[in-house]
């Protein structure tokens, strides 16, 4: 089915002159979910190489390479140096300037860093019924940990169990947990079963643009903010405790 969909899209590609629409279609074809299935077969890099070799139109091949880079960056399934080489090759040898523009935008986004930047203004509904503005909170602490999580994410829940211990260990530390669950009611029920989770817990939703902003392809993901609202650390997965030790030793 995937191959038939790809072929149909490629036929449409020839009928349009707009690289952006072609690129958007290719991002759907080479979705992270599809490549994840290839990962289960243990052949992601081989799959990428084979797919690109099978695309004979150079314009489509370059757009497909850029789409793959954008979709796969940050998951850890492919060596990021190899992904970067794909998009760099497009930038250095573009078929057209609009293809180069897309590749440059992809490269800029994947190489974007959060550390050292001012955090966005975030206001989200909390499980207690009000809206919580992060900027109203971080000036009161040395550090705020912005936690990207979901109730269905086992590692996220396991990390949350450590938060109260960390709050006691570091009295000038607080958390701001942003749920990426689809169902807000499920989040509320989860928190009601954990009455000692008293830090701000808010809901952004499954398709929140905050996932992109925080580069949270995988969760749990943590962004640590100082009292000025500057992001000082960005952690994906494990490593929060070690990072806090470093920050509090400064």
**Do strands 201-203 and 231-236 pair parallel, antiparallel, or not at all (unpaired)?**
unpaired
> Residue 9's pLDDT band (boundaries 50, 70, 90)?
low
Query: According to the model, what pLDDT value does residue 19 have?
Result: 83
Contact in structure between 52 and 44 (CB atoms under 8 Å): no
Section 82-94 average pLDDT: 96
Indicate the pTM of the whole model. 0.79
pLDDT above 70 covers a percentage of the chain that reads 92
DSSP string for 163-223: HHHHHHH-TTEEEEEEE--S-HHHHHHHHHT-TT--S-EEE--TT-THHHHTT-SSSSEEE
Is residue 70 predicted with pLDDT exceeding 80? yes
Query: According to the model, what pLDDT value does residue 43 have?
Result: 78
Query: According to the model, what pLDDT value does residue 35 have?
Result: 85
186-212 tens-digit pLDDT: 999 999 999 999 999 999 999 899 988
Contact in structure between 187 and 127 (CB atoms under 8 Å): yes
pLDDT above 90 covers a percentage of the chain that reads 73
């Amino acid at each position: 089915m995937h191959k038939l969909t790809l072929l149909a899209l490629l036929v449409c590609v020839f009928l349009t002159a707009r690289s952006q629409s072609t690129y958007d279609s290719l991002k759907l074809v080479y979705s992270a979910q599809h490549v994840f299935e290839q990962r289960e077969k243990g052949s992601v890099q081989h799959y990428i190489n084979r797919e690109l070799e099978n695309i004979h139109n150079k314009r489509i091949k370059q757009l497909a390479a850029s789409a793959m880079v954008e979709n796969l960056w940050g998951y850890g399934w492919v060596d990021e140096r190899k992904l970067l080489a794909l998009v760099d090759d497009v930038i250095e040898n573009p078929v057209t300037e609009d293809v180069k523009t897309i590749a440059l935008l992809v490269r800029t986004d994947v190489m974007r860093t959060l550390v050292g930047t001012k955090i966005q203004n975030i206001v989200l509904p909390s499980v207690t019924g009000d809206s919580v503005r992060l900027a109203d909170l971080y000036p009161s602490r040395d550090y705020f940990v912005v936690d990207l999580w979901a109730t269905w994410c086992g590692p996220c829940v396991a990390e949350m169990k450590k938060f109260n211990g960390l709050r006691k260990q570091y009295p000038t530390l607080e958390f701001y947990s942003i749920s990426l669950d689809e169902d807000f009611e499920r989040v509320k029920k989860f928190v009601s079963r954990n009455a000692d989770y008293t830090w701000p817990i808010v809901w952004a939703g499954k398709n929140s643009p905050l996932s992109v902003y925080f580069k949270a392809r995988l969760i749990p993901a943590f962004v640590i903010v100082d009292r000025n609202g500057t992001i000082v650390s960005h952690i994906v997965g494990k490593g929060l405790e070690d990072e806090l030790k470093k920050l509090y030793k400064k």
